[in-house]
Structure 1
């Protein structure tokens, strides 16, 4: 029987690309997101294009109990999760105090609690069968100090990167590969949703951007090679290395200067 991958946030961008990448390597996939029409189209495409099984679950990962419901769905198919891609995520515009605290609670649940819980739910089965793949889609932002107006994003991604490293060490002797994927600027709907597309496009050179397909391919390869951290793209690798050695106050000033350019 083919392996099965569960991929969250698969209606667009990196999550959608991951669904195609796993299917192209012969995995069955279960995809989840909030937009049913897009999930239906993706599942149909995967079945026809790659000849594997594909199904979807419409889910709001900010809801308590959503991770368990996803696992229950996979179990109802008579399957288990062999690969998990924790990709679902978004940004909150309008700053910290510009959003209701309930919005921050939902953000933290989607970005931190849900990927952690899903990993907790699938890891025992992976260890038992001595095979598993977990990819946590983090960000190059995990290497940066938090920026004003996006106060929670970088800290959440830093958690996801460090969580992945710890889980990588805990699981590696059991045939389970855990990787944190830390992309930089990626062509997707992320900046359209936050309303920052025009500003970022004007202030960020084209050589810093990558396509979602390329990012997903590198993430897949990193998980297969059991690399704890994957920073895709040469410019991003250089930046991540630089950010490890420069003082935080320098990094804060760099962020401040970049934000000033965006505001102009």
Structure 2
């Protein structure tokens, strides 16, 4: 058994791989890749094959989000969001699934968001993309569960990570009440338990579960108006 870490920053990956091997005695390989590159998914899987490994567990966790209005954002930035969080997620799953089916075992966790369960709001493509990930995961789980492959959409809310630093929204996020936040390790544990048990959707944390349940009965037209009222880019 081995672990393959994939991200853009090799130095960070190597340091993490060293720590994981020391702490858990697990083989840990590193692949540097930028998922905004359409060739990245094929290259990643080719490298995994070269390493002599099978993909029994796939975690699609890469993400980014724009910080401006749709019409004011260069399309290349929007295309990068689509490539990283939609196209790469779909292609990596498509490349991994045949082997999982053949071996009769597989686990796929696709990181969606609590936003996918909320009324639509102006967050550029983020909410739309995460809704796609949610629906894709459920459809794949229906198709693949008879073959021993479980797929779960993990839908976290506010989680302590580097996401807000990278996106430049740290100051705004720091103003949110502490009870809304979760630690990353708690989200990971709940997400893994969900996919292992065969749950197609996981909303981690009590506050997030209550929030998701509260908005579920909202009619589409009410949700749309609510989303419009929360639009930070309206004139």
| TM-score greater than 0.5 by the shorter chain | yes
TM-score range, shorter chain: over 0.9
5+ unaligned residues in a row in structure 2: which ranges? none
Question: What pairs up with 1:246-257 in 2 under 5 angstroms?
Answer: 246-252=218-224, 254=226
Question: What pairs up with 1:105-184 in 2 under 5 angstroms?
Answer: 105-148=79-122, 150-184=123-157
CA contact (8 A) 1:179 1:223 kept: yes
Asked if 1:195 corresponds to 2:168, the answer is yes
Report SS of the residue matched to 2:216. Answer: helix
Q: Deviations over 1:226-252 (max 9, x none)?
A: 100000001111111122111244445
CA contact (8 A) 1:146 1:153 kept: no
C-alpha change, 1:52 and 1:118, in structure 2 (3 Å) is same
Greater shift after overlay, 193-202 or 154-163?
193-202
Asked if 1:69 corresponds to 2:46, the answer is no
Question: What pairs up with 1:209-224 in 2 under 5 angstroms?
Answer: 209-224=181-196
Asked if 1:58 corresponds to 2:32, the answer is yes
Q: 1:234 aligns with which of 206, 210, 216?
A: 206
How high is the TM-score relative to the length of structure 1? 0.84
Aligned-residue Cα RMSD (Å) equals 1.5
Report SS of the residue matched to 2:84. Answer: helix
Cα drift, residue 64 of structure 1: 1.5
Cα drift, residue 146 of structure 1: 3.3
CA contact (8 A) 1:87 1:137 kept: yes
- 1:29 aligns with 3
5+ unaligned residues in a row in structure 1: which ranges? 3-27
CA contact (8 A) 2:106 2:148 kept: yes
Partners of 2:152 and 2:182 in 1: CA distance: 19
Partners of 2:125 and 2:141 in 1: CA distance: 24
Q: 1:86 aligns with which of 57, 60, 63?
A: 60
Cα drift, residue 256 of structure 1: 5.8
Partners of 1:88 and 1:200 in 2: CA distance: 20
Greater shift after overlay, 186-195 or 159-168?
186-195
CA contact (8 A) 2:58 2:108 kept: yes
Partners of 2:37 and 2:119 in 1: CA distance: 29
Q: Deviations over 1:164-183 (max 9, x none)?
A: 00000000011111101000
Partners of 1:86 and 1:185 in 2: CA distance: 18
Cα drift, residue 29 of structure 1: 0.9
Partners of 2:91 and 2:214 in 1: CA distance: 32
Greater shift after overlay, 233-242 or 152-161?
233-242
Report SS of the residue matched to 1:245. Answer: coil
How high is the TM-score relative to the length of structure 2? 0.94
Q: How many residues align?
A: 232
Cα drift, residue 201 of structure 1: 2.3
